[in-house]
Chain A
Amino acid sequence: MRMMEIVPIVVFFMGMFGLMTSKNIIKSIACLVLLEMAVIVFILGLAFRTGILPPVGQSLENVYSVADPLPQALMITAIIIGLAVTAIDFTMIINLVRRYKSTDWDEVKAMSTENFDEC
């Protein structure tokens, strides 16, 4: 069983289920974070073997017991960009909450369509 690949897929679809069904805007953002973390764990888990060593050190003789450094370098970038994207999401949420005084998707949608009709 390759748990490091199966479990992130499960968590990814948990996040997707949350995105589909959540009624609260902040909860949607939390589900987005869940989804992103699942993808990162999946990509790192593709090369997972038990007893794997980090790629840090002076002499890495036994190359095949060392983790793959390339996905790690890419995933650090992904984490930082994920935080930037989350920050933009929060800005949009704060705009919505300032405008409609609610964090419920249904109420915000109803109010925004009303305003649209007035215009």
Chain B
Amino acid sequence: MTEALLLLWVVSGILILQEQTVYRMVIYLGVFSLITTIIFLFQGAPDVALASASVSGFSTIFLVVCFEKYYGFRDKPVRRKSFRAHFKPAQIAQGLAALAFCVIMCLMFIRFIPGGYASTYLMYQYITMFQSDVGGENAVTAIYLAYRLYDTVFEALMLVVSVVAVVHLSRFDELSFDDGEQSEVRHSKIAIRTIRCICSVIILFGIYLIANGHISPGGGFQGGVAIAVFFVCRYMIFNIYDIKINTVLKDEKIVFLGIILVAVFAIFLGVHQYFPYQHLPLFQTIYMLMMNTLIGIKVALGFLMLFYRYVAVDRRR
């Protein structure tokens, strides 16, 4: 079963590589991400699978909407002429050299895979200790909210920096942004009707993931992306830009400050190994819920910001 799934994975990768039209390539990319998600499930990683599923769904919608509006997406082939007319002999030689390089490097890497399995000492520590140290029932959430809290804080910082970078890189002189306008683009009626049915389920799913992140697979990141997908669906249905970009950016920074404050507070109280209130699981639960909610809001605002920025840029072409 696993082998069949991996074979399917490789085939979908080859489909991406050989495809000549952008639109179909984006759809194949979605298929590739879906199969990757199932592989994560087989590897015993439902949290990663949820994150991958929501991120791949978001990025596929994102790509389709943005490039449809911006690039026209008139399913035109990347390479119009026949193979022989398109490629010069020098280019074919370069391609063959690249292929040879990749095959040789691939064989070398496969040859030097170390034998034996990864060390299980740290894993044993985490799995046996996390319930008394941090609380909750999900070891992954326990790790990214307590044992490796710095990682989470810097990841949130990375997201803020990337959103700011996107805002500043896509600032064109001739464009001004006024919010609350109706878009000119008309989406397909079938798609809108389907999205109307699905979108309430999506936001419920996002809230469920955030609220149950500490006792079941899920958490702040996954739920946040699901909520961002809900707002994207809302845009698709009503076709309106009523979200003020500057307000969203400000809110995101405030929520990021909240994450840092809660994290620092928790570190000084000692949430992990030296937690002084081990007999108070309520405190632990409140901490995890609070962090998950803050991370969820922050991720949702960040991705919402990215999406609206592209759509708003694409609108005035």
Question: Do A94 and B51 form a contact, CB below 8 Å, given A73-B144, A88-B169?
Answer: no
Closest Cβ–Cβ distance, residue B184 to chain A (whole Å)? 18
Rounded to whole angstroms, the CA-CA distance of A113 and B102 in the bound complex is 29
Provide the B229-271 mask, 1 if CB < 8 A to any CB of A, else 0.
0000000000000000000000000000000000000000000
B166→A91 contact, CB < 8 A = yes
Task: Tell me the complex Cα distance, A68–B222, Å.
Answer: 20
A97 to B78, CA, bound (A): 15
Contacts known (A50-B2, A68-B120); A83 close to B55, Cβ less than 8 A: yes
Q: Nearest residue in A to B113 (C-beta to C-beta)?
A: A5
Whether A27 contacts B25 by the Cβ 8 Å rule is: yes
Given A69-B139, A80-B55, A6–B113 Cβ distance below 8 Å? yes
A44 at the binding interface (Cβ < 8 Å): yes
- A76 in contact (CB, < 8 A): yes
Chain B min CB distance to A104 (Å): 8
> B157-165, B195-203, B278-286: which lies at the A interface?
B157-165
Q: Is the CB of B47 closer than 8 A to any CB of chain A?
A: yes
> A residues within 8 A CB of B302?
84
Name the A residues within 8 Å of B113 (CB-CB): 2, 5-6, 9
Most chain B CB inside 10 Å of its own CB: which residue of A12, A33, A68: A68
Docked-complex contact A55 and B10, CB < 8 angstroms:
no
**Option from A16, A52, A60, A94 in Cβ contact (under 8 Å) with B43:** A52
Please determine whether A56 and B217 come into contact, CB atoms closer than 8 angstroms.
Answer: yes
Nearest CB on B from A102, distance (A): 11
Cβ–Cβ contact A60 & B127, under 8 A: yes
Indicate whether A72 sits within 8 Å of B158 (C-beta atoms), given known contacts A57-B137, A79-B52, A91-B170: no
Q: Are A55 and B14 in contact (CB under 8 A)?
A: no
Q: How many residues of A contact B (CB 8 A)?
A: 76
Residues on B with C-beta less than 8 A from A31 are 16-17
Interface residues of A in 26-72 (CB under 8 A from B): 26-27, 30-31, 33-34, 37, 40-41, 44-50, 52-58, 60, 63-64, 66-70, 72
- Residue from B29, B44, B126, B148 within 8 A of A54 (CB atoms): B44
- In this complex, how many residues of chain B approach chain A with their Cβ under 8 Å: the count is 92
User: Is there an interface contact between A73 and B143, defined as CB atoms closer than 8 Å?
Assistant: yes
Residue in B29, B102, B225 whose CB lies within 8 Å of A33: B29
Q: Closest chain A residue to B99 by CB distance?
A: A17
Q: How far is the CA of A86 from the CA of B142 in the complex (A)?
A: 28
Mark contacts of B81-95 with chain A using CB atoms, 8 A cut-off: 1 yes-contact digit, 0 otherwise: 000000000000011
Q: B286-317, CB under 8 A of A: which get 1 and which 0?
A: 00000000000001001100100010011000
Nearest opposing residue in chain B for A106, CB measure: B91
20 pairs, CB–CB < 8 Å, chain A vs chain B: A2-B113, A9-B110, A11-B9, A27-B25, A40-B36, A41-B36, A46-B117, A48-B43, A56-B140, A77-B144, A77-B151, A80-B159, A81-B162, A85-B162, A86-B59, A88-B162, A90-B66, A91-B166, A94-B313, A95-B170
Which residues of A come within 8 Å of B, CB atoms? Answer: 2-7, 9-18, 20-21, 23-24, 26-27, 30-31, 33-34, 37, 40-41, 44-50, 52-58, 60, 63-64, 66-70, 72-77, 79-88, 90-92, 94-95, 97-98, 103-104
